[in-house]
Chains A and B, each alone.
Chain A
């Protein structure tokens, strides 16, 4: 899936993945798919947090992701993997 990868601002220690096309995902239906792919999931109803290794990813209904990752490259990799797990992947092309 095509998405923009943004660094919200200098002061923030995270990256934001925003799909180029408008997408809606159903948060409650993502939980099992994520757990089946070795993510620890914190379900906060209106959004969820998926944790794998040292990456924490906030997932929103708009398919926006907020990635707490060590580097830009890792953020792109995790965004691609997560969109794939959620079944919204159309071939990755993350760009910063």
Chain B
């Protein structure tokens, strides 16, 4: 089983990746580089987290960095403010699906856990999943934050994840927690989705 793991500098996605590495899945790590809406810290933490996972599992993990600035700008300029996170995640899934096709991977893997942040309500997860056809694995879906932190401490990623790093600065004050696909599709008509995917794919860096 080959999986495309969407990995950030946070606590959850390294734990999700660890769980599937334990199941002997082959992992390709994909990090969406949100600079300048985040800072260098997120990218550096991600690289350190992947190294830690490689050390823990004694395996190399192929890593791909995807530039994600242009999508944020397009959604910020043209789309409903409260849907920004849903639109952003749908875009990440689309790009990850393209990478999965190139890598001949079977599924995407995320560190989502139900209700942990606004974008992770059941309704939003459904709307976001509908952007792609590829299956999305979410091994942490039923865990709470403390349980996830416990795993992170056990595998040595927790201390890296809590290092300074700026969260996304374009996140809306009141993000939608109950997105409707029909509304999201209307918003996506206002931007060149295919063009943004192509641009991101042209800018990927493999490390």
List residues of chain A with CB under 8 Å of any chain B CB: 10-14, 42-47, 49, 51, 56, 58, 66, 68
Selected from B76, B81, B166, B172, the residue in CB contact (under 8 A) with A12 is B166
Question: Which B22-52 residues have a C-beta within 8 angstroms of A?
Answer: 36-37, 39, 41
| Chain A residues in 8 Å Cβ range of B72 | 44
**B198 interfacial contact with A, CB 8 Å:** no
Q: B residues 164-190 with Cβ under 8 Å of A?
A: 164-167, 169-170, 172
B162 at the interface (CB under 8 A from A): yes
Instruction: For the A-B complex with A42-B36, A43-B73 known, give 9 more contacts whose Cβ atoms are closer than 8 Å.
Output: A10-B164, A12-B167, A13-B164, A46-B170, A46-B172, A49-B36, A49-B37, A56-B39, A66-B166
A selection of 26 A-B contacts at a CB cut-off of 8 Å is A11-B162, A11-B163, A13-B39, A13-B41, A13-B165, A13-B166, A14-B39, A42-B36, A42-B69, A43-B77, A44-B72, A44-B76, A44-B77, A44-B170, A46-B77, A46-B170, A46-B172, A47-B76, A47-B169, A49-B36, A51-B36, A56-B36, A56-B39, A66-B166, A68-B39, A68-B166
- Distance of A91 from chain B, by nearest CB (Å): 28
Which residues of B are found within 8 Å of A47, using beta-carbon distances? Answer: 76, 169-170
A44-B76, A51-B36 are contacts. A12–B164 as well, Cβ < 8 Å?
Answer: yes
Query: Once the chains are docked, how many angstroms separate the CA of A68 from the CA of B36?
Result: 10
Give the CA-CA distance A44 to B41 in the complex, in Å: 21
Check B36–A45 contact: CB distance below 8 A: no
Closest to A44 in B: B76
* A45 (CB) vs chain B CBs: closest residue: B77
Cα distance, A51 to B78, chains bound together (Å) = 23
| Contact A66-B36, Cβ < 8 Å, known A11-B162, A13-B41, A42-B73 | no
Please report which residues of chain B, range 54-87, place their CB below 8 angstroms from some CB of chain A when the two chains form the complex.
69, 72-73, 76-78, 81
- Chain A residues lying within 8 Å of B69, measured Cβ to Cβ, are 42
A contact residues around B77 at 8 Å (CB): 43-46
Residues B164 and A58 in contact, CB atoms below 8 Å apart = no
In the complex, A11→B161 CA distance in Å? 10
**A43-B81 Cα distance, complex, nearest whole Å:** 15
- Contacts of A11 on B, CB cut-off 8 Å? 162-165
Q: Which residue of chain B has its CB nearest to the CB of A56?
A: B36
